[in-house]
Amino acid sequence: MSNLWSGRFANAPDQDVFAFGASFAFDRRLFEDDVEGSRAWSEALLRAGVLSGDEQQALDRALTDLREAAAADPSFVSGDDEDVHSFVERQLVERVGATGKRLHTGRSRNEQVALDLRLYLRRRIRVIQAQLRDLVAALCVRAAEAGEAPLPAYTHLRRAQPVLEAHYWLAHAAAFRRACERFDAVYAEADALPLGSGAIAGNSFPIDVEFLRVRLGFSRIVVNSMDTVADRDFVSSFLHACALVMIHVSRLAEDVIIYGSEEFGFFELDDSVTTGSSLMPQKKNPDPMELVRGKTGRVIGRHTGWLVTMKGLPSGYNKDLQEDKEAVFDTEDTVAGSLMSCDAVVRTLRVRRDVTQRAAGGFMLATDVADYLVRKGLPFRDAHELVGGMVRTLLEERQAIESLTPDQWRRFSPLFDDDVVEAITPLASIRARQTPQSTAPVAVAARLTEMQHWIGPRG
């Protein structure tokens, strides 16, 4: 089998070295995009007078046949070819003879692979975004079901203040929504037509790149051929966006793991998304969440590795850039699997509200006590110190805030009136919030409605 570049060489390539440099084992994923780009290129060559109408039609029919053959049997895209571009050209030559060799006129693999990867990412970004919307929808279902059930919120993994359980679910939803919207910027970055750039200097044939832009659905044309063939900023942006998705996935996983432990007991995972122990019969392990937490390092590593690959390259195309595709494909697969697992866990877990209700009070209400005193005229810093001493005393006496009578409250300050008993409860604390981003029931309901509107109709 000859290669696209074999004319320059008198000897056949070393087979082991050739195999090391070949990319068909993984870049076959770009087959659909390579075919679509080649169909458009054949039309551009026709418009430039390089191909006759019969030649272009023969190429288009052959390329369409290739696409249909792969759709019917994915194993069709296989062989000993160097890369997916070589595979497509070989198949064309087998079908239409010398006309197949004319398709590459004026086109470099440097711009071809840039086109394929941009087309691929534009397709796959929308799939990831759909998964993110599904997960946000699952979180919103949880929020809607929770009503005004309280949940303890944490800072430094220490109980901080009570919030609505719905506020908690919407906090994760907000992070995943940001992650989803971030991909719009990645899509826009990839949405530039590189064809016409050639290997580095541009194209000497009268190629109508504006036609190609419209034909392939790009919003703009790249501005510099030399930059374009080496530009993989859009790859880095994709990997960065995926790494942030996994950061949010990992944090959700950590919550589910901790809150589902016997020590917390807030969540119970469904049997369908847990595993047991080969030794200990009582175990019910949150393996999917542990796995996505672990895979986060893998995705971050892919992004870091790609940046290191890029940082030392000289101008123009270099073979190092071949590393972009494995990074993209592995990252995409990992993110897809992780989002699927999280969605399943969120949709099926059970919240033990008897436990979360009990956990949402106690000394978590200390800030509300200080706020109460401020409303009575005490400066906040003095109120903070007074309540801190009060907490210390109650801890020593093993008393809970909610158990105090009005007279016991006044032992700490005459500013406490009889209404303090009703003012210092988890729900009173939650309902006292007034800012639009807070855990106040009205604010949470508004955020839930707005989030559901963003998700849109579910098919």
Catalytic residues: 156, 277
Cα separation, 97 vs 87, in Å, equals: 14
- For residue 145, give Cα distances in angstroms to 64, 148, 165, 268, 281: 50, 9, 9, 16, 33
SS3 content of the chain, % helix, strand, coil (to 5): 70, 5, 25
Q: Which residues of 224-254 are buried (b: 16+ CB within 10 A; e: fewer)?
A: ebbebbbbbebbbbbbbbbbbbbebbbebbe
Contacts of 76 (CB under 8 A, 6+ apart): 69, 70
Task: Take residue 315 and report the two structure tokens written for it.
Answer: 């101008």
Rg (C-alpha) for the chain, rounded Å, is 30
**H-helix segments, 205-232:** 209-216, 225-230
By DSSP bridging, strand 158-164 and strand 150-155 are: antiparallel
Structure tokens at 97: 């003879």
